[in-house]
Chain A
């Protein structure tokens, strides 16, 4: 199989990640639940991994690195933990449902008001729209770092500056960019960063985090056992314990820790250059095939290694099915959990086939995919 669905998850993980998880499966006790070596092994792992992630993302305090199961959990904590009844939040049509659904839920349950920055048919936004949408009751800007459908990057530093000028919280969904694009929370003005471990971080599924930059009060999303202050009837207020209830995914975090080490060793810029090289080769070749339409801004390669396309009027699901069944190429069709992006691109009825390249893809993968798209284009409608 040629795996080109890395935007959904990276299927191939570095060997060191698998080794770390395997070792953890026979050596970890439960953190904060005991002082024996088993529990302390896990405490040390969590402590050091928080430090690594704080350094990796430019978060000033490692105790404000909160482990979560994925970006979705981090976003739920960030959004519901900061927005209060009557607040207004600004977001965009590029968002994944992991941002949209928590916001819609607060709209229904807490009466928060939402404004959406629109996008054109290349998935591009006008940054001035953020300023235009700000009101006296605006509390936060919540947006993605990159569209999971087009791969277009947002200028987070620019949006962060707008948010800072107006004293707004800036919550960023880094699902598509963590591990793929350098992120510095302080430099970019990010208040709350939500990331997942299993995409470009190349860590295990079931890992991720919320990083908090500064003195920001985030109310807990779930409460329960913490191993400390057991006689309190409320969740302890200190970070990270405030936002971590229950046993953490220690085995997964061991893998995530190894994944951070791997990215550091290889160099995020080198990883990015490889992925972009493949995506660019693919995009430039398929764009020349009659009937192929690509979606996104390809005037720049400051973007994610994602190419979404359609071939003529063929249903994207049928193209995706043919790519896998006839050529062994794994891609993703459908709505991509990004309903507003599809509406903006006018691809709701047809969907789009998304090719997303990863570190372990090769030049041969790109060439085979080009040939497959070419052949499918010839097979359509005759």
Chain B
């Protein structure tokens, strides 16, 4: 299953977009930025967006001119756990 990680240059960018996406009702959550996707310029925080919400996320980014580093698709490497903490 492919998921999308929105990467940032710093936490302020990440938290701003998180707030914008939440305000627009686009499902997203804060997650550690994958090491494989993270270049030199990224910070350790990313926003994880599922495939069915990424187009809506891109719309919000474009509309708000939200700063971010890149959007990276990645296959999930873990099978889901039945009981989740969050």
- In the complex, are there CB atoms of A and B closer than 8 Å? yes
Interface of A with B (CB < 8 Å)? 314-322, 324-328, 333-335, 348-351, 375-376, 379-382
Query: With A325-B85, A335-B44 given, is the CB distance from A350 to B78 under 8 Å?
Result: no
- On whether the beta carbons of A314 and B85 are closer than 8 Å, the reply is no
- On whether the beta carbons of A326 and B84 are closer than 8 Å, the reply is yes
The answer to whether the Cβ of B81 comes within 8 Å of any Cβ in the partner chain is yes
Query: With A327-B85, A328-B85, A335-B44 given, is the CB distance from A322 to B78 under 8 Å?
Result: yes
- On whether the beta carbons of A322 and B44 are closer than 8 Å, the reply is no
Interface of B with A (CB < 8 Å)? 31-36, 38, 44, 46, 48, 74, 76-81, 83-86
- On whether the beta carbons of B33 and A334 are closer than 8 Å, the reply is yes
- How far, in whole Å, are A350 and B78 apart by their CA atoms in the complex? 15
Among B32, B48, B74, B85, max chain A CB count under 10 A is at B32
Determine the chain A residues whose CB is within 8 A of the CB of B86 once the complex forms.
324-325, 328
Determine the chain A residues whose CB is within 8 A of the CB of B38 once the complex forms.
317, 334-335
The contact of A333 among B35, B80, B81, by CB within 8 Å, is B35
- How far, in whole Å, are A263 and B86 apart by their CA atoms in the complex? 35
The contact of A316 among B35, B78, B81, B85, by CB within 8 Å, is B35
- The residue on B at minimum CB distance from A376 is B78
Determine the chain A residues whose CB is within 8 A of the CB of B33 once the complex forms.
317, 334
Among B77, B80, B81, max chain A CB count under 10 A is at B77
- On whether the beta carbons of B35 and A314 are closer than 8 Å, the reply is no
- How far, in whole Å, are A108 and B47 apart by their CA atoms in the complex? 35
- On whether the beta carbons of B35 and A349 are closer than 8 Å, the reply is yes
Cβ of B72 to closest chain A Cβ, rounded Å: 11
Determine the chain B residues whose CB is within 8 A of the CB of A349 once the complex forms.
35-36
- On whether the beta carbons of B34 and A379 are closer than 8 Å, the reply is no
- How far, in whole Å, are A372 and B23 apart by their CA atoms in the complex? 34
The contact of A314 among B77, B80, B83, by CB within 8 Å, is B77
- On whether the beta carbons of B31 and A315 are closer than 8 Å, the reply is no
- How far, in whole Å, are A314 and B85 apart by their CA atoms in the complex? 21
- On whether the beta carbons of A317 and B85 are closer than 8 Å, the reply is no
- The residue on A at minimum CB distance from B33 is A317
- On whether the beta carbons of A325 and B84 are closer than 8 Å, the reply is yes
- How far, in whole Å, are A234 and B3 apart by their CA atoms in the complex? 58
